[in-house]
Amino acid sequence: MSRNILLLPGDGIGPEIVAEAEKVLGKVNEQFDLGLNFDTALVGGAALDATDSPLPDVTLEKAKAADAILLGAVGGPKWDSLPMAKRPEKGLLGLRSNLELFANLRPAILYPQLASASSLKPEVVSGLDIMIVRELTGGIYFGQPRGVRDLENGDRQGYNTYAYTESEIRRIGRVAFEAAQQRGKKLCSVDKANVLEVTVLWREIMEDLKREYPEVELSHMYVDNAAMQLVRAPKQFDVIVTGNMFGDILSDEAAMLTGSIGMLPSASLNSQKQGMYEPCHGSAPDIAGQGIANPLATILSAAMMLRYSLGEEQAAEAIEAAVSKVLDQGLRTADIMSEGATKVSTRDMGEAVLAAL
């Protein structure tokens, strides 16, 4: 069996962190005889610079043909003033929508070794383990009509459309119920059903799905309250399901509760379990090229890839165990450094994971 992995290093620290994850994947490839083949392509700002498109055709073709994709990060100030269609982010959004990667899984886990990095009190976050399931190919990110127009009275108006169909809600709902079923059996659906009609439909469909998953306890929460509860008592949550925009906000908030966003992986899956895997953090242009970025979120994203797209649970667990081991050894990149630990570079961290495998 041979499987094709597409590497998309992207911008900023992307190339540095993907390089370490590639080494780690290479090693488990041998150890577990996984039959992985690697290819690389351009996306985001790097693609814009080379081809004038944030998602060149050749990249999209390779992505479609791949069994799984490992992405670094996209974007940076260099491209920030370009028009919307010519922004690095459009490369990422284009991949998500063209491959129909509608299910974004974002775990927010507090590593016990890094508990002190959180800005929250230890008792509030110790043992934190939340899974956020974010809808990724619909909602206001992709809704039409959208744009900026001149009104008759001479004023200008910007507008976007927040829309979901019942079938879009149903398919992301199923992913979330199934995740909850395999975890703590608690699902919290986040909406703004007291104000937005689109989320009234959302809530209705989630209620409807409940009958198919009798073991899962479903609750609903308004998004403003969810943003509060994540700060107040995050451990009340097991799985959270929400739309694209609210998911963007809440998953970043939840990630930051751990204090170690450099540690958090994510998966974006379609209905064939084809997936794109990427760290939760961004391209961090301020530290790009210095060899100090934390590669662990990308390495853990590679582990998620083995688990969700390739069905290689054993290899995934081996990587996760190796990461845990290097943390136990006291190795820390700058972002997670604390007193008494050993500060290491991006490459040293990658090498340490290799050695621990």
Ligand X SMILES: CC(C)[C@H](C(=O)O)[C@@H](O)C(=O)O
**Residues within the annotated binding site?**
76-89, 96, 106, 134, 224, 248, 252, 282-294
What are the structure tokens assigned to 7, written together? 């590497």
What would the x/- binding string for a second copy be over residues 286 to 325, using CB under 8 A? ----------------------------------------
Active-site residue identified among 111, 141, 213, 277: 141
Pick from 50, 59, 175, 52: which is nearest to 106 by CA?
175
Among 13-21, 27-35, 60-68, 88-96, which window interacts with ligand X (CB under 6 A)? 88-96
If one counts every other C-beta atom within 10 angstroms of the C-beta of residue 110, the result is 24
Exactly one of 93, 276, 299, 356 binds a second copy (CB under 8 A); which one? Answer: 93
**In the complex, least distance from residue 143 CB atom to a second copy, rounded to whole angstroms:** 7
Q: Does 253 bind ligand X (CB under 6 A)?
A: no
Q: How far apart are the first and last CA of the chain?
A: 23
State yes or no: is 39 an active-site residue. no
The entry of a second copy, ligand X, none that residue 164 binds, CB within 5 to 8 Å by partner kind: a second copy
- Using CB under 8 A as the binding rule, whether residue 161 contacts a second copy is answered as yes
Q: Which of 39, 49, 89, 100 binds ligand X (CB under 6 A)?
A: 89
Q: Give the nearest distance from C-beta 23 to a second copy in angstroms.
A: 29
Strands 68-73 and 3-10: parallel
Closest CA to 242 of 213, 272, 221, 216: 221
Which of 172, 170, 145 is CA-nearest to residue 159?
Answer: 145
What's the token pair of residue 12? 């900023």
Token pair belonging to 216? 């899962």
Helix (H) or strand (E) holding 169: helix 166-182
Asked if 334 is part of the footprint of a second copy (rule: CB under 8 A), the reply reads no
> Contact letters (x/-) for ligand X, 93-132, by CB under 6 A?
x---------------------------------------
Q: Beta strands 129-135 and 147-150: pairing type?
A: unpaired
Dist. CA 14–CA 76, nearest whole Å: 11
By beta-carbon proximity to a second copy, the closer residue of 77 and 112 is: 77
Pairing relationship of beta strands 129-135 and 68-73 according to DSSP bridges: unpaired
Question: What span, in angstroms and rounded, lies between the C-alpha atoms of 298 and 295?
Answer: 5
Which of these ranges, 8-16, 87-95, 204-212, 290-298, lies near ligand X under the rule CB under 6 A? 87-95
**77 in contact with a second copy (CB under 8 A):** no
Q: Which of the residues 252, 273, 343, 348 is marked catalytic?
A: 252
Q: Quote the tokens at residue 343.
A: 């500060």
Show the tokens assigned to 260: 């170690």
Is residue 195 close enough to count as binding ligand X by CB under 6 A?
Answer: yes
Record the tokens describing residue 243, joined without a space: 């739309």
Residue 85 binding ligand X, by CB under 6 A: no
In this structure, the number of other CB atoms found within 10 A of the CB of residue 170 comes to 14
Residue 345: which of ligand X, a second copy, none does it interact with, CB under 5 to 8 A by kind?
Answer: none
Residue 192 known to be catalytic? yes
In the complex, the smallest distance separating the C-beta of residue 160 from a second copy, rounded to whole angstroms, is 5
Given a second copy, ligand X, none, residue 227, with its beta carbon under 5 to 8 Å by kind, binds a second copy
Residue 303, CA distances (Å) to 114, 224, 289, 315, 333 in order: 20, 33, 25, 7, 20
CA-closest candidate to residue 264, choices 70, 68, 107, 125: 107
Q: Which residues are catalytic?
A: 141, 192, 224, 248, 252
- Footprint on this chain of ligand X (rule: CB under 6 A): 75, 89, 92-93, 194-195, 224, 248
